[in-house]
């Protein structure tokens, strides 16, 4: 897993090449909304893509992580089906429902049933390389989903070059990112991570939470400013030094949110002394997203080392799938 994290810049460049080589048929009619369906390592790319696209998207871009699809999906809907393996049962079910609803479908997968259906129905299909764990292939799915949104006119400008500059950035700053990750790994040692960021960067916090779950085999939670100021902040009432709070920050965040972070630190600091901040690198939204994703991935594998656990192993998920296969 460490090797896969270190190779993230190369993965981003390979993903851009896949996008450039893809030929999509486009949307025939009036595109009114977009649904991205996928779970786990395949689904988080959709969450982050929807946030990166939010301010310029011409139609709603919604992410669904389950067996079913919203009632508004129909002939005016673009559905991006994201399943790295191509055999995710929830995603296949959602794909079938989207087909029944008459939606236009683009599949992003390395093979499996999803690719089989896409070929059979002559859907747009972007094939990814096979072999690695889905959570280690975020770059592949995220780049394709942003490319699809641009190709279908949902966002006006291509961001492929931004992914290339992001790859250059994290490669150039690899040592600094690794040093910060090492410090934060020590910060989290023996504690429960609590991750806070802002609304349109929530996908990055979710990514870190999921990586800590799967790679480091620990529980943690996240929330966003300003929403947490209307609920979770009230829950900070008891001293608990087992909690370690990480604030994922951006100097370009809205000034009112910047102020909220400072007030939050004062409130939370009464109940735990363990508060750290990570200020993101990069010049644009894509670079910033990739920078913090890469930092979080390093934290998760270093924490796995620290805890003496195998970051690749996911036996409990295999067990769950095995039990489900009996029904």
Among the listed residues 55, 230, 251, 326, the single catalytic one is 230
> Residue 262: beta bridge partners?
none
- CA proximity to 139, closest of 268, 246, 6: 6
Instruction: Please say if 214 is a catalytic residue.
Output: yes
Instruction: Please say if 321 is a catalytic residue.
Output: yes
Among the listed residues 51, 180, 202, 214, the single catalytic one is 214
Instruction: Give CA separation, 170 vs 7, 17, 28, 185, 289, in Å.
Output: 10, 18, 39, 19, 11
Q: Which helix (H) or strand (E) holds 50?
A: helix 40-53
Q: Where are the alpha helices (DSSP H) in 54-192?
A: 89-100, 112-121, 138-151, 160-172, 174-188
Cβ contact 228:179 at 8 Å = no
The whole-angstrom separation of Cα 8 and Cα 171 is: 9
Main-chain phi, psi angles of 142, to 5 degrees: -65, -45
Instruction: Please say if 255 is a catalytic residue.
Output: no
The sign of the dihedral angle between the CA atoms of 55, 59, 60, 65 is negative
The sign of the dihedral angle between the CA atoms of 47, 50, 55, 61 is negative
> Residue 62: beta bridge partners?
35
Cβ contact 35:62 at 8 Å = yes
Please return the burial class of 250, using the count of CB atoms within 10 Å of its CB with bins 0-12, 13-18 and 19+.
buried
The whole-angstrom separation of Cα 31 and Cα 52 is: 19
Question: Which active-site residues does the annotation give?
Answer: 214, 230, 321
């Amino acid at each position: 897993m460490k090797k896969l994290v270190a190779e993230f810049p190369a993965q981003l460049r390979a993903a851009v090449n896949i996008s450039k080589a893809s030929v999509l048929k486009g949307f025939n009619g009036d595109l009114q909304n977009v649904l991205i369906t996928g779970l786990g390592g395949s689904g988080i790319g959709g969450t982050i893509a929807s946030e990166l696209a939010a301010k310029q998207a011409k139609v709603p871009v919604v992410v669904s992580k389950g067996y079913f699809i919203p009632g508004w999906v129909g002939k005016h809907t673009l559905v991006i089906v994201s399943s790295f393996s191509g055999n995710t049962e929830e995603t296949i079910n959602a794909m079938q429902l989207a087909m029944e609803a008459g939606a236009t479908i683009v599949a992003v997968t390395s093979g499996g049933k999803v690719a089989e259906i896409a070929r059979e129905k002559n859907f747009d299909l972007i094939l990814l390389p096979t072999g690695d764990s889905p959570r280690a292939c975020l770059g592949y799915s995220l780049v394709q989903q942003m490319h699809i949104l641009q190709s279908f006119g949902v966002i006006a400008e291509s961001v492929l070059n931004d992914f290339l500059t992001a790859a250059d950035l994290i490669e150039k700053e690899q040592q600094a990112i690794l040093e910060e990750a090492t410090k934060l790994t020590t910060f989290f040692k023996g504690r429960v991570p609590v991750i806070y960021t802002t609304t349109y960067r929530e996908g990055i916090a979710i990514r870190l939470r999921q990586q800590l779950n799967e790679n480091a085999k620990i529980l943690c939670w996240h929330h966003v400013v300003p929403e947490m100021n209307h609920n979770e902040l009230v829950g900070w009432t008891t001293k608990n030094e087992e909690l370690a709070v990480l604030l994922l920050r951006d100097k370009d965040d809205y000034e009112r949110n910047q102020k909220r972070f400072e007030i939050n630190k004062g409130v939370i600091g009464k109940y735990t002394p363990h508060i750290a901040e990570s200020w993101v690198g990069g010049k644009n939204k894509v670079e910033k997203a990739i920078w913090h994703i890469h930092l979080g991935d390093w934290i998760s594998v270093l924490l796995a080392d620290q805890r003496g656990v195998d970051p690749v192993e996911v036996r409990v998920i295999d067990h769950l799938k095995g039990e489900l296969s009996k029904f």
